[in-house]
Each structure stands twice: as C-alpha cells, then as structure tokens.
C-alpha cells in the first residue's frame, strides 16, 4: 500500500484548526479555529483564506445559501457572509460558564446537531473533569433554550459527528475514552437510538478526533496526539494507517470537484509555546489524494420557529 503524498496547502498556524467542510457550490473549504475563534473559507485554487472573527469560542456550524449558523460558547448565531453581521439566535442548552459547543454537523436531511465539552471559565475551581456523560442536542428552531432537543447518546467529550450516505448510521468519537461509537438513526424523525461501540482505539497513541465517511462506507479518523489518520472498514476494523507530518491532526474532510481530495486540519495549542517555532507545520491545513471519493456535505435546513 503506497503512502500518499501529503501537501501543506495553507500555512495557517492555527491554535485549534477543526471542522473542515467542503462546499461544492462555492468550491471552497470552510474550517474553524476554535481558540482564536473564527470561521475560515479557503480557496484551494488560489490559496486565499478569508475569515470571519467570532466573539467567543466557536464550535460546529451549518452552511446556508447566504452564510452559516455558528455555535459559539454564548449560543447559536447566524452569520451573513456578505457583511459579516452576526445575529443571536438561541442560547445554549447548558451553562456557558462551564461548557462550550465542541462538535456537531448536519444530518443528511440538514438538521443541525451539536455536542458540548466541559471547559469551565475558571478551570482552577472546576470539580474534576465535569459530568461523566453529556448528550448531543438537535436544534429545532426558535429562540429559546427549549428549542434544543437532547439526544440519547451520552459522551464524555462530544467530538466529531458523521452519518452514513443513506443517513441510517450516526457516528461519533469519544476522545477521552478513545472510542468510536455508532447509533441507528431515523432519517424521517431525526432521532438516534441503540448506540454501540464501533471501534476501541485504546491501543492507539492519541485520541480519536474528527471523522469523515467515504463513498464505500469506510470511516477516516484523525488521531489527535497520535500523528496519523486511520481508515476503518464498515465493521470498525483498521484498513489502513496514514502517518501525518504533524502530531495533532484534528479532522479530515473530502473536497474538490470530484471529492477525491482529503483535507486535514491540525492544531498546535497542545505544544508549549516556546517549542512552536521549531515545529512550523503544526496547526496547518493539509491535503492528500484519497483512494476513493467522499460523500457530499449537506446544507443546513433552517427550521421555522
């Protein structure tokens, strides 16, 4: 098996690059920097990277025709790309002094899901690492906390979220527990049930972070701190391993006109600041040619409410 050529396509030097998403209509790759909060828009044809700064930590987002809905620590906001205006939509379904939105995505029907992570504003006063189980939430529209519907999947750290091409399997990674989970998903009702362990990665260095699904139903997952990508078959077995030129890859996403380019974000915040100059690739955006195509991303369906 030939090791693919991995190219640095953007010297982003992001603290916490995450959540790449290819928008086919715009022919752009969107991604975020969580800790220097901004939503970015990268043009692989020109190398230009545009961004919109955010007032607080940014988590998952859903693209729309004229902008995006972004989940910030302070709640859900609507961003208009034309003028950069940011309008408050709904508060988070948790105490924002203790939690942030960490990861999420839209299901194949465009419903927006988001999951939290325990990141208290004053970590020195935190009681351990917070609750043992946290749910993902689905936003059903409206401007109140009650517009978020809790799911049935408990996670320690809500990381990654992806669906199979037919929308009947919902995957997520639990980084702290070094596990990847799968649940049955009802595309008509937008509900998940019967979560089951998909892959135990406790023998791997680093923790499972973001995932992407390809056209063959295989999952690509970044190992944060492990410096590599794994491709898992539909039964959760490792089919191949791809070493990355950085220790902290965060998430892969398929892009390009044929969805055969695998983009990978990375982070450098875990590296002591004094050592970062000596590791200039950490935090950059990478690309490699994938052996199969991915499945297209889905625009967010904005519910009335």
Out of 209, 214, 257, 289, which one is annotated catalytic? 209
Domains of the chain: 7-289 (2.120.10.30)
Residue with tokens 């982070």: 267
The predicted pLDDT at position 131 comes to 63
CA separation (Å) from 125 to 74, 93, 270?
A: 20, 22, 21
Q: Nearest CA to 244 among 278, 283, 298, 202? A: 283
pLDDT tens, N- to C-terminus, the chain (305 residues): 677 899 999 999 999 999 999 999 999 999 999 999 999 999 999 999 999 999 999 999 999 999 999 999 999 999 999 999 999 999 999 999 988 999 999 999 999 999 988 888 877 655 555 665 678 999 999 999 999 998 877 776 778 899 999 999 999 988 888 999 999 999 999 999 999 999 999 999 999 999 999 999 999 999 999 999 999 999 999 999 999 999 999 999 999 999 999 999 999 999 999 999 999 999 999 999 999 999 999 999 998 76
**What is d(CA 112, CA 246) in angstroms, rounded to the nearest whole number?**
31
The predicted pLDDT at position 124 comes to 60
Name residues whose C-beta falls within 8 Å of residue 208's C-beta, 6 or more positions apart in sequence: 159, 160, 173, 174, 175, 178, 179, 180, 199, 201, 221, 222, 223, 224
**Global pTM?**
0.95
Structure tokens at 205: 């260095």
In contact, 60 and 292? CB cutoff 8 Å: no
Q: Nearest CA to 284 among 100, 107, 33, 115? A: 33
CA of residue 66 relative to chain centroid, distance? 21
209 in active site = yes
6 — phi, psi (to 5°)?
-105, 120
CA of residue 53 relative to chain centroid, distance? 18
């Amino acid at each position: 098996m030939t090791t693919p050529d991995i190219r640095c396509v953007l010297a982003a030097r992001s603290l916490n690059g995450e959540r790449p998403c290819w928008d086919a209509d715009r022919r752009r790759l969107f991604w975020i920097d969580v800790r220097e909060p901004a939503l970015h828009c990268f043009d692989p044809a020109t190398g230009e990277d545009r961004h919109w700064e955010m007032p607080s930590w940014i988590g998952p987002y859903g693209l729309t025709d004229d902008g995006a809905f972004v989940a910030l620590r302070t709640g859900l906001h609507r961003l208009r790309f034309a003028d950069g205006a940011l309008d408050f939509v709904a508060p988070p379904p948790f105490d924002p002094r203790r939690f942030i939105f960490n990861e999420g995505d839209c299901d194949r029907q465009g419903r927006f899901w988001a999951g939290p992570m325990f990141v208290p504003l004053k970590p020195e006063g935190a009681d351990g690492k917070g609750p043992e189980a946290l749910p993902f939430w689905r936003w059903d529209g409206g401007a109140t906390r009650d517009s978020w519907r809790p799911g049935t999947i408990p996670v320690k750290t809500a990381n990654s979220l992806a669906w199979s091409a037919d929308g009947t399997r919902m995957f997520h990674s639990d980084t702290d527990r070094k596990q990847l989970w799968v649940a049955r998903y009802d595309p008509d009702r937008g509900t998940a049930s019967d979560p089951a362990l998909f892959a135990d990665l406790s023998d791997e260095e680093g923790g499972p972070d973001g995932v992407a699904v390809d056209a063959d139903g295989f999952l690509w997952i970044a190992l944060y701190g492990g410096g590599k990508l794994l491709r898992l078959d539909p039964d959760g077995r490792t089919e191949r391993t791809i070493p990355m030129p950085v220790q902290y890859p965060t998430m892969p996403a398929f892009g390009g006109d044929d969805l055969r380019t695998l983009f990978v974000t990375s982070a450098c915040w875990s590296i002591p600041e004094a050592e970062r100059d000596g590791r200039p690739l950490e935090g950059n955006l990478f690309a490699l040619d994938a052996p199969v195509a991915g499945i297209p991303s889905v625009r967010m369906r904005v519910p009335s409410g």
